Amino acid sequence: MMEKGNKSLGSLTGLDKKYLYVQTIGCQMNVHDSEQIVALMEKEGYVCTKNVNQADLIILNTCSIREKAAQKVNSQLGRFRRLKEKNENLIIGVGGCLAQQMGERLITKVPDLDLVFGTHNIHQLPELIVEIERTGRKIVETTVHESTQSIGLLALPPIGRVTAFVTIMQGCNNFCAYCVVPYLRGREESRDIDDILHEISNLSDQGVKEITLLGQNVNSYARKRSGESGFVDLLHEIEKIEGIERIRFTTSHPKDISESLIASFAEMKKLCKHIHLPVQSGSDRILALMNRGYTRSEYLAKIEKLRKSCPDISITSDVIVGFPGETDGDFQETIDMMNEIRFDSLFSFKYSEREGTAALNMSGKVTEPLKLERLRVLQSLQEEHTLEKNRAMVGRQEKILVEGLSKNCREDVMGRTSTNKIVNFGGSIELVGEIVPVFIKEAYLHSLRGEML
Ligand code: 5AD
Ligand code: SF4
């Protein structure tokens, strides 16, 4: 703990409403963590606000997986700090990966911060806030807890939601050469199966119809000494839970995806026909430097098996361009592989150096302009493929789980296909939570348009 100027005790002990503003930067994991933060603090009497100027407590939930996210965190913190000039009782906390990574250094860098908490400390948030109010001290709490107590705290989706995330494991043992996750989220740790099933039953009782299982590498869930994972067993148990209609999961590691999981796409009724399978590169040389543990042909063989098991499956992926040593030839191999596979959609990133990772000391750095150029080429090719895949849906009848009203038109509802494509169609709010048959009429880059049958 570090000393700071005395803060009046009035702000959080009074009877007046206390407002919480949470901002999330980063991945689904962070979105889920933020939902947990909101649920925890609402239990303590906080009310969520979208107006940062109104906030008594600001929590910035950060990601540091790529440099761009880290830069965004810095600019947001600069903005929030200025609010302290107007409200001296304002508490500003930073959580998530960047907080885990920087710890006390973050407070030294941003002196107006009150709290830095790590990826394993979310459950401690209420007591940490009370401690700050009581003592006026700054707190840095980034202890990594070995127990699973810190994950899957609450089974509380935002009210009225039909989809929810459920964390099944934390951490990662893979140490890909570019990645900070194993350092920041720690080693793989699976949650107890009974806890997970209990949480999902609760979610179902609250009206949730679709769950997405979260973990850095869900295929390693409950890995036994024999090397076999308990992930498919978990899926089968979840399938038995009444009320849950759809099961999704993310993220899978290509080296760990098993024959039994591939077969599950054909066998399990509730398992959605979509897999996110990050490939990162199409060049064997780069894959080896990245320490990914598979070759291009092994990856292609898994795709072939998936499509054989489930011909309609949609496949999405992640690619990094400009990893150290990536030549024009290596990049061309990625492009060739994309043309061969034709992903439904792709997240692509410029390689960014991350502290503590093996790639930091690798030679053959790629210049920024070249990375940008490769990204542009790759993204425009992917747009063609995404459109091609979406257009192939036109004329088909799809089952859509309705999630809510459409963003742009209040007379439309939006939902997703089993293959995770967004569909908008005419309908009213009563449809939310229903799975309805929809005829697909038009295809765009980011969504489809349909008509309910
Ligand atoms: N630079 C660029 N992209 C990265 N990713 C992870 N670390 C880095 C990095 N240092 C990407 C990978 C991963 C996704 C979540 O983020 O593609 O699959
Ligand atoms: Fe990072 Fe690799 Fe683990 Fe994914 S599998 S979280 S990229 S180390």
How far the first Cα of the chain sits from its last, in Å, is 61
Q: Express each pLDDT in 106-127 by its tens digit.
A: 888 888 899 999 888 888 899 9
| 115: β partners | 93, 139
What CATH fold (topology level) applies to the domain 18-141?
Answer: Rossmann fold (3.40.50)
Q: For ligand 2, is residue 182 a contact (CB within 6 Å)? A: yes
Select 308-392's CATH number: 3.30.750.200, 3.10.20.30, 3.40.50.10170, 3.90.470.20: 3.30.750.200
Say if ligand 1 is within 6 A of residue 294 CB.
Answer: no
What are the structural domain ranges in the chain?
18-141, 156-272, 308-392, 397-452
**CA–CA distances in Å: residue 360 to residues 72, 191, 327:** 21, 32, 17
Give the whole-angstrom CA distance, residue 77 versus residue 95.
12
Amino acid at 58: I
pTM for this model (two decimals): 0.86
CATH of domain 397-452: 2.40.50.140
Q: Which two tokens stand for residue 108?
A: 């030294």
Dist. CA 179 → ligand 2 center (Å) = 6
* pLDDT over 80 (residue 388): yes
Higher per-residue confidence, 298 vs 78: 298
Q: Pick the range with the lowest mean pLDDT from 130-139, 204-213, 325-334.
A: 130-139
Which one-letter amino acid corresponds to residue 60?
Answer: L
Fold match between domain 18-141 and domain 156-272: no
3-state helix, strand, coil in the chain (%, to 5): 40, 20, 40
175 pocket-lining for ligand 2 (C-beta < 6 Å): yes
Q: What would the mean pLDDT of 51-57 be, rounded to a whole number?
A: 92
pLDDT digits (tens, 9 = 90+) for 184-196: 888 898 999 999 9
- In whole angstroms, give the CA distance from residue 344 to residue 387: 9
Q: Which ligand is nearest to the CA of 254?
A: 2
Q: Is the CB of 176 under 6 A from ligand 2?
A: yes
Domain range 156-272, CATH architecture: 2-Layer Sandwich (3.30)
Give pLDDT tens digits for 5-24: 333 333 444 456 899 999 98
- Name the pairing type of β-strands 210-214 and 163-167: parallel
Whole-angstrom CA distances from 318 to 14, 183, 262, 282, 395 are 48, 20, 20, 11, 29
Which residues, including other chains, have CB under 8 Å from residue 412's CB and lie 6 or more apart? Answer: 405, 406, 424, 425, 426, 427
